[in-house]
Structure 1
């Protein structure tokens, strides 16, 4: 059986303890092969899922699930929360001016709100926001949120794209669970605004939230991410997936693997 339902380590227990306990049914059990979706797509990676019932995490490749990587654009989730809390952006529909420098994606080259910037992963827009927030506020908020290694380094608009900020799949799933439950040390307003702009779709009484990311840096392994959570009534299952992703052409594989696992577990789809 390739699914690992492990007794939580002390760190895992702290991640899970942030969720309020609920009397909810367990996710699907049995001899499901959770590595099969990775094999089907020809990729190597990990998947971590934590649930609001406080049970043990579901981990594919537990060692990798605990290994920290640069979060890339998945940091747009906490970045939005921090921006709202720091007053750098008034709300999800406030316009962030286009800086005027052409980017690699023509869709980014205009003024837009975070609500518009999130689904197209507008890097320059969030870099503009980061300059408004400033490094002192990031140091404060990354520590408050207990986000990964908490390190924004010295370059305010690159630390989540190139490092030194890193986070593990398990830690990121735990962060998502706290956000979904309004359990972060931040205002309810900021958490609600952030949840709203990462809502992807609804199906069969469940709502899916999520954000992708891609870390690329010369000389280092390129990592593709998909992170989010599923709400079904009072039940929440938060997840994070990462894979080795040397080419952008592999981007659809992140969602293909993640959706297949969520479906196998009976969480979504």
Structure 2
């Protein structure tokens, strides 16, 4: 009888500890997500819908106006050029940062694409035809292998979609998945060479001042006349790095050129509201 009582007491203590441990994990998980109402004000004033997600690398804290939106999957669009470039470099399809993409002389969607482009310009001008050729040369099998190795979103890649799976179809990635990938890239945790990492950091650099470096990639998809826009990347300062993934959709009052610009402008405005940028 004494043995049964002892076992009962031990079991009760074990259950209590397990419950306390579980509650602690929930508190810790909730504590690294901070709701930023200022981000929602920025978004509302710009007549768009969506969320801005900023991650403090040092403090391991996420800031957003909408922690439901940040789990919402969308086409990666041209943000996939980050991964496409990495795989191109790792497989040798892109030989180096000096690789030239030759213009075929035909009219393109963007005037910036109607010229020979070195890798950094092809990336920053978001040259779709250039990267479609890269994807086709990589091939569906290798592309799938690398995407799975990088644990990048939920992409649907086969031989029929190899040159468009990031622009249309069922491929999806969320803001939190974008941040997770960028964090592993930034922390040198991806299974890629140091050379590839160095080239990528160079071509992703958008702006450098005395106070910070801004690196990243925009993306835009249009399915059934429904636009979705991305801006993902990171801001490096002397003492910290902040990763970000902004995802926006236009309201009915829609100006295409303004929407394109807002992806970057609203992200930088959010950093100013947090006193990270001046």
- Normalising by the residue count of structure 2, what TM-score does the alignment of the two structures yield? 0.81
Say if 2:56 and 2:243, in contact at 8 Å, map to a contact too: yes
User: How far, CA to CA, are the matches of 1:8 and 1:78 in structure 2?
Assistant: 29
- The answer on 1:37 being equivalent to 2:5 is no
Structure 2 partner of 1:16: none
Provide, for residues 194-215 of structure 1, a one-character-per-residue CA deviation record: whole Å limited to 9, x for no partner.
1110101123421110111111
User: How far, CA to CA, are the matches of 2:120 and 2:112 in structure 1?
Assistant: 14
1:74-223 to 2 correspondences below 5 Å: 74-153=79-158, 154-218=160-224, 221-223=226-228
Question: What is the count of residue pairs matched by the alignment?
Answer: 246
Provide, for residues 214-262 of structure 1, a one-character-per-residue CA deviation record: whole Å limited to 9, x for no partner.
111225x310111110111352111000111365222111112111101
1:45-60 to 2 correspondences below 5 Å: 45-60=50-65
The structure that has the greater radius of gyration is 2
Quote how far apart the aligned CAs of 1:165 are.
Answer: 2.1
- Normalising by the residue count of structure 1, what TM-score does the alignment of the two structures yield? 0.84
Structure 1 residues 266 and 116 mapped into 2: Cα distance closer, same or farther (>3 Å)?
A: same
Tell me whether 178-187 or 96-105 shows the greater mean CA deviation.
96-105
| Structure 2 unaligned spans of 5+ | 1-26
Structure 1 partner of 2:266: 257
Say if 1:84 and 1:190, in contact at 8 Å, map to a contact too: yes
User: How far, CA to CA, are the matches of 1:126 and 1:117 in structure 2?
Assistant: 8
1:243-254 to 2 correspondences below 5 Å: 243-245=248-250, 248-249=256-257, 250-254=259-263
User: How far, CA to CA, are the matches of 2:169 and 2:28 in structure 1?
Assistant: 31
User: How far, CA to CA, are the matches of 1:241 and 1:255 in structure 2?
Assistant: 8
Over the aligned positions, Cα root-mean-square deviation in angstroms equals 2.3
User: How far, CA to CA, are the matches of 2:37 and 2:209 in structure 1?
Assistant: 23
| Structure 1 unaligned spans of 5+ | 1-5, 14-28
